[in-house]
Amino acid sequence: MLKLFFFFFTFPPPPPFRLPPSKKKKKKAAAARAARAPPRQPAAAAAMEEPEPGAEAAAPPGLRSLLPPRDFLGSRKGQLLLAESVLSFIIFICYIASSAASFMMAPLLEFLLALFLFFAYASKLNEKFKGLYWPLTDFLRCVTAAVIYFAISIAAVSKYNDGASKAAGVFGFIATIVYAIDFYITFNDLVTFLKQGNSESPERRKSEDEDSDSDSD
């Protein structure tokens, strides 16, 4: 009797019997786990949100593609062309507001030419269209602009007494100096360009002579 009593109290009771969870409870538990877990983005959306390195530099969006590159803006030619276009526009505005309005066509034309060459050199059109002698045309533009600005500035300062004409004359003298620096630099580029053309001309002559000899044979 004592042994049975001792065995009944010392032996561990069996685990309680539990029914398997129903389908509704399983669905509720799965929904709770899905709500706790962070949302996952699809692979296509993640690829669109994370661009590859260097993609912005290769294809800049919007207006960045129209802006000139920084290396050209930091160059000497880019700064000179930018200064010429800004000074020409200021002189044009001053002549419109002055009594010497007959001189306004000269700064307007120089402004358009400087702006065109600025974007032409920035977009490297001189390397694409090699049929045009870019150094020669740029040299002639700078020489004529310096002479015209010097002449009309003297006339604006000496003949007219209003403040706008005086301001146009002062800015015209500054533009004359800028254009003089530009045509001095362009003249050096023109000399190197002509030297390269003379060095290539004997080779072309030799090739033409060889072609003519082969045709005669």
Banded pLDDT at 4 (limits 50, 70, 90): low
Judge whether 164 lies within some domain.
yes
Phi and psi at residue 8, to the nearest 5°:
-70, -35
Amino acid at 188: N
Judge whether 216 lies within some domain.
no
First CA to last CA across the chain, in angstroms?
A: 137
The per-residue b/e assignment along 9-23, b for 16 or more CB within 10 angstroms, e otherwise, is: eeeeeeeeeeeeeee
Residue 202 has pLDDT above 90, yes or no: no
Judge whether 124 lies within some domain.
yes
Q: What is the pTM of this model?
A: 0.60
The per-residue b/e assignment along 169-191, b for 16 or more CB within 10 angstroms, e otherwise, is: bebbebbbebbbebbebbeeebe
Judge whether 3 lies within some domain.
no
Whole-number CA gyration radius for the chain: 40
114: which residues sit within 8 A by CB, 6+ positions away?
81, 84, 85, 88
What does the pLDDT look like over 123-181, one tens digit per residue? 888 778 776 778 888 889 999 999 999 999 999 999 998 999 999 999 999 999 999 99
Number of domains in the chain: 1
What does the pLDDT look like over 36-87, one tens digit per residue? 765 555 554 544 555 544 444 444 555 555 566 777 788 888 899 999 999 9
Q: Are 62 and 74 in contact (CB under 8 A)?
A: no
- How confident is the model at residue 196, as a pLDDT? 72
Banded pLDDT at 203 (limits 50, 70, 90): very low
Judge whether 183 lies within some domain.
yes
Distance from C-alpha of 107 to C-alpha of 101, rounded to nearest angstrom: 11
Amino acid at 126: N
Judge whether 186 lies within some domain.
yes
Q: Are 27 and 34 in contact (CB under 8 A)?
A: no
Q: What's 103's DSSP letter?
A: G
Q: Are 141 and 163 in contact (CB under 8 A)?
A: no
Q: Are 160 and 98 in contact (CB under 8 A)?
A: yes
Judge whether 122 lies within some domain.
yes
- How confident is the model at residue 83, as a pLDDT? 94
Q: Which of 115, 109, 107, 125 is nearest to 80 (CA)?
A: 115
- How confident is the model at residue 59, as a pLDDT? 44
Judge whether 81 lies within some domain.
yes
Range of the domain at 143: 70-196
